[in-house]
């Protein structure tokens, strides 16, 4: 009897599924594209793919927000029937004991469009509680951050009447977050959604920034990202020809340098340890500005978080060359991820020396 076919699922940004498919099929040419919707893609694996590696499989994909073993889908007009079908799938599969239940929705819009932001909400949390009750998983933490090595049952709300069941084992930081999204509680004073982006970038990258370190951000106006940095008691230089929000200007640890990056004297950045960039320009222009700074003997930048705008999706194919360019400046540890709170852009985390933490 032939072995049952194996599938994996990948969650991504709404609209990023085409670049995700190209990226995965480029690295894993034996995978076959299976079910796909904007923001959610599944692949059939070759028959000889090692089953044991699947729960912690690292696809090494910039555009995959989260992934796992795909068990099957359920389709029914009412919730009770969908939950019953999930029960059957779980009963028919050889599964480990789970430590967490994550119930998450496929993104149905681009983050930031018409107020949409990815991640947990009251509806998915309430549904998670109903599913846990029906499936006798009431003892599991629901939509909480898992610890490394814990096993997570994923129920993915792909459409109103169609869900997907899967599971994965937590490894790196974002694999512990429900649907790969770090869920944060925001205060009303956030001046731009870049706050979310910076918060997620810091938690994903785990750059070892310490209170009091000096950080500069190129493209800092109006100032959400700088707020997230200031909330960590960092000293912040905002570099932007545009105005900063008054909240930032009033902060004692914030200095605005009202210039374009190219107009900066590198001596102004001598004490900067960490460099952020979020300019709305093409990636090569961002990299030119950053290279100008890091290549100077007057600066000593330990690490960076760079937003590269994919002003057209075709630029995704250039990512490996952008990362090589960054490595050529003497930075060993360079990773790219399309953050949940990114729009059509990716975040590159850069460290001169590899931190021991994963």
Ligand X SMILES: C[S@@+](CC[C@H](N)C(=O)[O-])C[C@H]1O[C@@H](n2cnc3c(N)ncnc32)[C@H](O)[C@@H]1O
Query: Contact between 281 and ligand X (CB under 6 A)?
Result: yes
Selected binder of ligand X within 119, 166, 180, 224 (CB under 6 A): 224
Q: Of 67 and 277, which CB lies nearer to ligand X in the complex structure?
A: 277
The candidate with the shortest Cα–Cα distance to 287, out of 327, 259, 340, 248, is 327
Query: Contact between 194 and ligand X (CB under 6 A)?
Result: yes
Query: Contact between 240 and ligand X (CB under 6 A)?
Result: yes
Q: Of 239 and 316, which CB lies nearer to ligand X in the complex structure?
A: 239
Query: Contact between 286 and ligand X (CB under 6 A)?
Result: no
Query: Contact between 219 and ligand X (CB under 6 A)?
Result: yes
CA-to-CA separations, 24 to 52, 105, 131, in angstroms, rounded: 20, 22, 32
In the complex, the smallest distance separating the C-beta of residue 263 from ligand X, rounded to whole angstroms, is 8
The candidate with the shortest Cα–Cα distance to 11, out of 53, 79, 59, is 59
Binding flags for ligand X, 288-327, as an x/- string (CB under 6 A): -x--------------------------------------
Selected binder of ligand X within 111, 118, 222, 303 (CB under 6 A): 222
Tally the C-alpha atoms within 13 A of residue 278's C-alpha that lie toward its C-beta: 23
Helix (H) or strand (E) holding 43: strand 40-44
Q: Of 93 and 262, which CB lies nearer to ligand X in the complex structure?
A: 262
Cβ contact 307:345 at 8 Å = yes
d(CA 317, CA 335): 15
The candidate with the shortest Cα–Cα distance to 345, out of 219, 242, 174, 182, is 219
The candidate with the shortest Cα–Cα distance to 182, out of 339, 10, 59, is 339
Q: Of 103 and 276, which CB lies nearer to ligand X in the complex structure?
A: 276
Query: Contact between 39 and ligand X (CB under 6 A)?
Result: no
Query: Contact between 218 and ligand X (CB under 6 A)?
Result: yes
Of how many residues is the chain composed? 358
Cβ contact 276:216 at 8 Å = yes
In the complex, the smallest distance separating the C-beta of residue 136 from ligand X, rounded to whole angstroms, is 45
Q: Of 194 and 310, which CB lies nearer to ligand X in the complex structure?
A: 194
Residues sharing a CB contact under 8 Å with residue 325, sequence separation 6 or more, in sequence order: 287, 291
Q: Of 39 and 222, which CB lies nearer to ligand X in the complex structure?
A: 222
d(CA 154, CA 200): 21
Q: Of 241 and 246, which CB lies nearer to ligand X in the complex structure?
A: 241
Query: Contact between 283 and ligand X (CB under 6 A)?
Result: no
**Which range touches ligand X (CB under 6 A), out of 23-31, 45-53, 206-214, 275-283?**
275-283
Selected binder of ligand X within 13, 62, 205, 279 (CB under 6 A): 279
Query: Contact between 213 and ligand X (CB under 6 A)?
Result: no
CA-to-CA separations, 26 to 9, 30, 65, 140, 275, in angstroms, rounded: 17, 9, 17, 37, 32
Q: What residues make contact with ligand X under the rule CB under 6 A?
A: 192, 194, 218-225, 239-242, 260-262, 278-281, 289
């Amino acid at each position: 009897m032939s072995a049952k076919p194996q599938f994996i699922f990948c969650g991504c940004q709404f609209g990023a599924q085409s670049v995700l498919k190209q990226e995965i099929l480029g690295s894993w040419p034996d995978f076959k594209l299976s079910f796909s919707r904007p923001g959610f893609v599944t692949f059939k694996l070759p028959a000889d793919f090692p089953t044991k590696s699947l729960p912690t499989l690292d696809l090494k994909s910039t555009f995959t927000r989260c992934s796992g073993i795909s068990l099957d889908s359920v389709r029914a007009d009412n919730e009770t029937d969908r939950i019953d079908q999930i029960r059957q799938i779980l009963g028919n599969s050889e599964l480990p004991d789970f430590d967490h239940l994550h119930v998450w929705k496929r993104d149905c819009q681009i983050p930031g469009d018409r107020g949409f932001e990815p991640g947990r909400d009251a509806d998915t949390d309430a549904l998670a509680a109903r599913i846990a009750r029906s499936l006798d998983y009431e003892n599991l933490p629901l939509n909480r951050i898992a610890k490394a090595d814990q096993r997570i049952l994923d129920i993915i709300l792909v459409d109103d009447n169609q869900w997907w069941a899967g599971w994965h084992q937590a490894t790196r930081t974002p694999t512990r977050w429900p649907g790969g999204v770090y869920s944060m509680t925001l205060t009303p004073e956030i001046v731009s959604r870049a706050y979310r982006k910076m918060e997620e970038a810091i938690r994903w990258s785990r750059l070892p920034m310490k209170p009091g370190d000096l950080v500069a951000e190129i493209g800092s106006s109006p100032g959400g990202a700088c707020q997230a940095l200031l909330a960590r008691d960092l000293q912040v230089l905002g570099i932007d020809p545009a105005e900063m929000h008054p909240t930032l200007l009033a902060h004692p640890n914030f200095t605005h340098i009202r210039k374009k990056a190219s107009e900066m004297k590198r001596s102004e950045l001598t004490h900067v340890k960490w460099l952020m960039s979020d300019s709305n320009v093409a990636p090569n222009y961002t990299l030119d500005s950053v290279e100008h700074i890091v290549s100077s003997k007057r600066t000593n930048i330990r690490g960076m978080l760079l937003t590269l705008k994919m002003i057209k999706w075709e630029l995704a194919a250039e990512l490996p060359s952008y990362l090589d360019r960054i490595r050529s400046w003497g930075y060993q540890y360079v990773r790219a991820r399309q953050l949940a709170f990114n729009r059509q852009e990716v975040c590159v985390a850069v460290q001169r020396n590899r931190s021991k933490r994963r």
